[in-house]
Amino acid sequence: MALATSNLTENDIYMKQCNDHDLPVLTCCAAEIVEVVLKRDRRLLLFGPPGVGKSTLAAQLAGELVATGRNCYCICADPGSPAFGVPGAASLAVWQEDGWRLFAFEALCSLDAGRFRLPLVTAVRRLAQTHSDGVLLIDAPGVTRGVAGRELLQGLFEAADADAVLALTAAERSPALIDELRSLASELFVVNAAAQARRPGKRARARQRTQHWDAYLSDSSEQAIELAKLNLVGTAPPVGLTSAWLGRQMALLQGSSTVAMAEVVGFDEHQLSISLPIESPEFDTVLVRDAQRSADGLLETATPFAAERLDYLPPSDMRIPLQQSGGPRVVGRVGPVDVCLINGVFGDPLLHLRLRHQGRSLLFDLGDGAHLPSRIAHQVSDVFISHAHMDHIGGFLWLLRSRIGDFPPCRLYGPPGLARHVEGFLQSILWDRVAEHGPCFEVAELHADRLQWFHLQAGRVGSESLGEVELEAGVVLQEPGFCVRAVQLDHHTPVLAYAFEPLKEINIRKDRLQARSLEPGPWLSELKQRLWADDEAALVQLPDGSEADVATLAAELVLITAAKKLVYATDLADSPDNRQRLTALARYAHTFFCEAYFIEADAGQAARTGHLTTRACGEIAMAAEVARLVPFHFSQRYSDRPRQVYDELHAFCQCVVMPKSMQLFELAETTGDETALSLDL
């Protein structure tokens, strides 16, 4: 029969639900709970949502028990908000005098109890097996919803071999997962949370867990370990992304048992430098998951390496058919740069990189530039040309016209013969009105392991040789903060693929600035520039008038995070040599722009014309272990069936960035409807 509630208060309904389930309801009074529930030694699970006071009640119960001469232990099973012990772990403690004393812990290296619930349950089981006398309390995390909550509840109850449950709940609210609780526990007690119980805010929880972590590491020393000689388990970042390891929490294991936990402070090839609180422990395995010290100095869940948003947006002009528009443009962010594939996935190759903090742009290839405003051309400092086929260099006239005026020379890089092609563009135009003020260009041709430089200016005949420069590891442009590397591939003519490689991402720790009462300002930009230039001995003037050298400031204020490499490759044959060279260039790239000109059914045509198929594109990306693949430069023959292209790519590569809706292609082609701008991408 349905419950009539029109004349009942919320408390009446709550009490009736408890009575219907025959559940005893207790106040949040430790003495009462000890008297009713803990007359004998037992294993008691404290369960409830965040903010109901489970950890506070556990401490109060322990105090009551110890005051009467009994022993009380507690397993803190919340790795993200531990009341005691080591964050990123499940900890076992015994109550002594007026607090918990850590007895043992099992590492998770994650703060996320819901995502890593199976490792958490396993850790609790191991800790519970070490307990033999007295009362054992299990302080469960506040995961009480969905599949994660249900599975975690059952797993913790069975792992701890619990025989009773305290279900904490806010007053007048039914306990979470009541049916699951009743099916598990023969003795289930409902406890109304104290009126003052509140969940701390996110930042407060982060500060509290960081205090626990810093306390654990307080007597640490820096030690080196050879990662290649150890078993690496968990969900570690790729070994090649050395800076992604900095600040990462890790555990040293002997077999499956935790020996110690540590923090990564340096990574040079396969040698880790770690902050470790014990000297020279014996271990054979390293566990790494997603707990990491953030740029603010707080221990938090690491941001996924490829977390930046990347969208497929409508063509810039929705009034023309898809075949002419080039289809959706790819727009997003890669570390310090904003990226846009200007002409879409079917159009002329033209990738725009905006260096956010420099007011400067780089272009990769020079397809049709009609959709780029002239102000972008004014800010372009370097253009990286793959080769001189029309769809890759035809936009040079847009660049040329946009740079008439007082602009510094624009640098262009490309394969042998590029200077001759640029000169051809310049000589095809009458420059009698610009005199000595025509646009200037410096062109670098890659010849094996050297760059040959030429100076060209509109209105002057011929080019001026600027000599040649030997290259180191294919680096064609080296600047503070980043470099651009090139490799020559074969398209039945030489073509170049490029990698944009930030040297390191420098983050200022705001907590350390506040601790030293230092105000942000231009001095931080100077500090970053000095660090990028490896000028650690230089002195930087601080806002208070004092000076400090770069090395000292970096050690105190700076956290280096993962540099995010972008690789651009298009128009290359599927040959073993091309695959080997491109895989090496793209190794561990954050974002890999790669052509997928033909579907697999047209592999014969791909071989004849020197292009990649969807299979080849996907396999190269997987072999290079890139974080995300952005395919582009599709043949126009597939403009009416883009889904087939993407489905094939996804079959060969799981990290391909897929459009969330193919409606974008269809609207662009058939309607020109501006509502395409608001599609769920």
Tell which wins on pLDDT, 146 or 662: 146
pLDDT reading at 132 higher than 80: no
Confidence at residue 611, expressed as pLDDT on a 0 to 100 scale: 98
Confidence of residue 2 (pLDDT cuts 50, 70, 90): very low
Dihedral (Cα; 520, 521, 522, 525), 10-degree rounding: 20
Please tell me the least confidently modeled range out of 211-215, 499-503, 548-552.
Answer: 548-552
Confidence at residue 674, expressed as pLDDT on a 0 to 100 scale: 36
At 399, the amino acid letter reads L
Reported as a single tens digit per residue, the pLDDT across 263-294 is 999 887 678 999 999 998 999 999 999 999 98
Confidence at residue 197, expressed as pLDDT on a 0 to 100 scale: 84
Query: 10-192 sits in which CATH class?
Result: alpha beta
Confidence of residue 18 (pLDDT cuts 50, 70, 90): low
Q: In what order do the strands lie in the sheet with 72-76?
A: 25-26, 188-192, 164-169, 43-47, 135-139, 72-76, 89-96, 99-107
Please name which of 262, 256, 311 lies closest in space to residue 284, comparing C-alpha atoms: 256
pLDDT reading at 320 higher than 50: no
pLDDT reading at 565 higher than 50: yes
pLDDT reading at 670 higher than 90: no
- What integer best gives the mean pLDDT of the chain? 88
Residue 335 is classified by DSSP as T
628-to-218, 657, 658 alpha-carbon distances in Å: 39, 6, 10
* CATH architecture, domain defined by 217-299: Beta Barrel (2.40)
Where in 294-350 does DSSP place strands (E)? 299-301, 310-313, 329-334, 337-341
Helix intervals (H) in 143-231: 146-159, 178-184, 202-216
Percentage of the chain beyond pLDDT 90 is 64
- Could you tell me whether strands 351-355 and 337-341 are parallel, antiparallel, or unpaired per DSSP bridges? antiparallel
654-to-232, 304, 625, 627, 657 alpha-carbon distances in Å: 23, 16, 11, 10, 9
- Sorted by where each begins, the domain ranges of the chain are 10-192, 217-299, 505-559
270-to-242, 336, 591 alpha-carbon distances in Å: 9, 26, 24
Helix 614-624 to helix 642-652 angle (10° resolution) is 40
Please name which of 231, 233, 230, 287 lies closest in space to residue 264, comparing C-alpha atoms: 287
pLDDT reading at 11 higher than 60: no
pTM comes to 0.78
Please tell me the least confidently modeled range out of 171-175, 290-294, 497-501.
Answer: 171-175
Confidence at residue 638, expressed as pLDDT on a 0 to 100 scale: 94
The answer to whether residues 128 and 75 touch, using CB atoms and an 8 Å cutoff, is yes
pLDDT reading at 213 higher than 90: yes
Dihedral (Cα; 655, 568, 236, 205), 10-degree rounding: -90
What is the Cα–Cα distance from 406 to 378, expressed in whole angstroms?
Answer: 10
- Could you tell me whether strands 380-384 and 360-364 are parallel, antiparallel, or unpaired per DSSP bridges? parallel
Longest dimension (CA), the chain: 103
Please name which of 260, 239, 215 lies closest in space to residue 109, comparing C-alpha atoms: 260
**What DSSP assignment string belongs to 83-102?**
SSS-TTEEEEEEEETTEEEE
Reported as a single tens digit per residue, the pLDDT across 82-123 is 999 999 999 999 999 889 999 999 999 999 999 999 999 999
Tell which wins on pLDDT, 681 or 270: 270
Please tell me the least confidently modeled range out of 36-45, 179-188, 411-420, 558-567.
Answer: 558-567
Confidence at residue 269, expressed as pLDDT on a 0 to 100 scale: 67
Confidence at residue 91, expressed as pLDDT on a 0 to 100 scale: 97
344-352: average pLDDT: 95
What is the Cα–Cα distance from 418 to 452, expressed in whole angstroms?
Answer: 10
Q: In what order do the strands lie in the sheet with 310-313?
A: 310-313, 329-334, 337-341, 351-355, 360-364, 380-384, 410-414, 440-447, 450-457, 464-470
- Tokens (6 digits) for 313: 């947006």
Please tell me the least confidently modeled range out of 5-9, 214-218, 298-302.
Answer: 5-9
The answer to whether residues 166 and 47 touch, using CB atoms and an 8 Å cutoff, is yes
Please tell me the least confidently modeled range out of 253-257, 370-374, 558-562, 606-610.
Answer: 558-562
pLDDT reading at 41 higher than 90: yes
The answer to whether residues 669 and 639 touch, using CB atoms and an 8 Å cutoff, is yes
Please name which of 167, 156, 178, 170 lies closest in space to residue 199, comparing C-alpha atoms: 170
Confidence at residue 106, expressed as pLDDT on a 0 to 100 scale: 97
What is the Cα–Cα distance from 321 to 522, expressed in whole angstroms?
Answer: 49
The answer to whether residues 105 and 91 touch, using CB atoms and an 8 Å cutoff, is yes
Confidence at residue 680, expressed as pLDDT on a 0 to 100 scale: 28
Q: In which region does residue 545 sit, left (phi positive, over 0), alpha (psi from -120 to 50) or beta (all else)?
A: left
